[in-house]
Structure 1
Amino acid sequence: MKTVVVGDIHGGFKALKQLLETTNLPKDTKYIFVGDYVDGWSESAEVVSYLIDFSEINDCIFLRGNHDELLYKYLKFGESNPMWLSQGGKSSIKSYAKLSKSEKEKNVKFFENLENYYIDSENRLFLHAGFTNQHGPQHEYYPNLVYWDRTLWEMVCAMDAAISEEDDKYPKRLKLFKEIYIGHTPVTRVGFEKPANFANVWNVDTGAAFKGKISMLAVDSKEIWQSEPVHLLYPNEKGRN
């Protein structure tokens, strides 16, 4: 079985569909989505509805992103705040206004069933953002850190590549897992256009919310597939720019 990880989508339905429908992966492929399906481009509701249908014929694991939680709180409880609205929330509200009540309820269930993290049989961790607890994400005092934390990515970006795991200064967090796969912080901020790797952490957020692409990475072979830059598919929109 091939396992692939799909990076942040942010309402870029056209790019997501392009990516998934042109790669021709084997039918038994496992798809792990790292979250942030919504907030950014104009088709957040279309993304989630498509993924619900996609999961009916494919083996999928959907992880929870911070934007997914923010939209869920709006849809379920009417919660919103100015920061979320300015960071893509308005586009999601507009997109979801087009759905019927039953369609919206189906999408709400999708958000409720998202997982905070996933650990596979080879001790590889998949989550949206990161974790701070030295015993792993399952021990976080505040569970929502796993879809908000940026310190894990910042740490590995700043690490001395020559430091050994045997060194006392080597981060204990990294020793817990064979590999760690995240999204949340675009690798474009540190000069990459494709999924980037530091230490044993792979970041598959390639800036789809801005002027980057949606990326998919094969866990074993590290083969990479990408959509077109998402903003080119929405020429009359600004996304989160």
Structure 2
Amino acid sequence: MARYVIGDVHGCAKALRSMIQELAPTADDELIFLGDYIDRGPDSRDVIDQLIELQSACKVIPLRGNHEWMLQSVVSRGLDDAMWLRSGGKATVTSYGGSTGKIPKDHLAFFEALLPSYETDQEIFVHAMYDPSCDVESQSDELTYWTHLPASLPAPHHSGKRVFVGHTPQPTGEVLRHTHLVCMDTYCFGGGFLSAMDLESETVLQVDRHGHIRRVPVERFAMLMKGCVQWFRSRNS
């Protein structure tokens, strides 16, 4: 069984399609998505179509991001749509034919079924951020959906589990990897990549918004970390 964690898609349907084709998941495989499937990119509707179809091919664990939270709040809870539209929602409305009233029922059901977080014996998956001292299911919505990673990264989670997040775009296009924390948002819609990490080997598959693929081997990650350590030591010597 293969297990992958996948970062923010943000309407980049070509990237997602190429990634799924490259991963070629089978019924025993598990794909964990960290949220923000919609907004900003060109084809949010197609992204949701792909994810719904993917659920019949393998085990899909889709988390809710703040952009799905905004859409649901507008469509189902009567929230004013101004903030959502300013935050990339216009692209989503356009992809659905110009009106939220045209969102298909199976798409609305998909949004309603999204999870706030997911936890295994070794890992925690949540869209945005975590409180190191708090169980993730008990933390605030502000942390779960909205808070970006600070420059001084949070401490390891009290459980000892490695935490995987999205939400905070990495402008270099590289996955942010530490022993206790991984950020998978590699800024696909802004010229970076959609990233998937194999949770066993830590090999990263990346696809740009046009669907072009590249792989990042573990060795490259080791080199990047070595460079960061050397830089840090030089600054503090």
TM-score interval (norm. to shorter): 0.7 to 0.9
Return closer, same or farther for 1:127/1:74 CA change in 2, 3 Å cut-off: same
In 1, Cα distance between equivalents of 2:100 and 2:81: 24
- Residues 70 and 80 in structure 1, CA contact (< 8 A), matched pair in contact too: no
2:47 corresponds in structure 1 to 47
List gaps (5 residues or longer) in structure 2: 212-237
Q: Report what 1:149 is aligned to.
A: 147
C-alpha distance after superposition, 1:115-167 (max 9, x if no partner)? 000001x2310011112361221222x3353111224x5432xx8xxxxxxxx
Per the alignment, residue 188 of structure 2 pairs with: 208
Question: Does residue 1:182 correspond to 2:171, yes or no?
Answer: no
Q: Residue 12 of structure 2 corresponds to which residue in structure 1? A: 12
Once residues 107 and 58 of structure 2 are traced to their aligned partners in structure 1, the CA distance between those partners, rounded to angstroms, is 18
Q: Structure 1's 47 and 203: CA in aligned 2 closer, same or farther, altered over 3 A?
A: same
Contact 1:76-1:108 within 8 A present in 2 as well: no
Cα distance in 2 for partners of 1:20, 1:177 equals: 31
Partner of 1:164 in structure 2?
A: none
* Number of the residue aligned with 1:127: 126
- In the TM superposition, what are the counterparts of 1:52-67 in structure 2 within 5 Å? 52-67=52-67
* Distance across 2 between alignment mates of 1:93 and 1:102: 9
- For 1:87-236, what aligned pairs fall within 5 Å after superposition? 87-97=87-97, 104-120=104-120, 122-132=121-131, 134-140=133-139, 142-151=140-149, 154-156=151-153, 171=155, 173-188=156-171, 192-228=172-208, 230=209, 232=210
CA distance in 1, matches of 2:182, 2:145: 15
User: SS at 1:225's partner residue?
Assistant: strand
Unaligned runs of 5+ in 1: 160-170, 234-241
**Bigger mean CA offset, 107-116 vs 175-184:** 175-184
Q: CA, structure 1 residues 97+209, in 2 after alignment: closer, same or farther (shift >3 Å)? A: same
Structure-1-length-normalised TM-score: 0.79
- Are the aligned partners of 2:127 and 2:167 in contact in 1 as well (CA < 8 Å)? yes
CA RMSD after TM alignment: 2.3
Contact 2:123–2:162 under 8 Å retained in 1? yes
Q: Secondary structure at the match of 1:61?
A: strand
Q: Provide the identity percentage.
A: 27
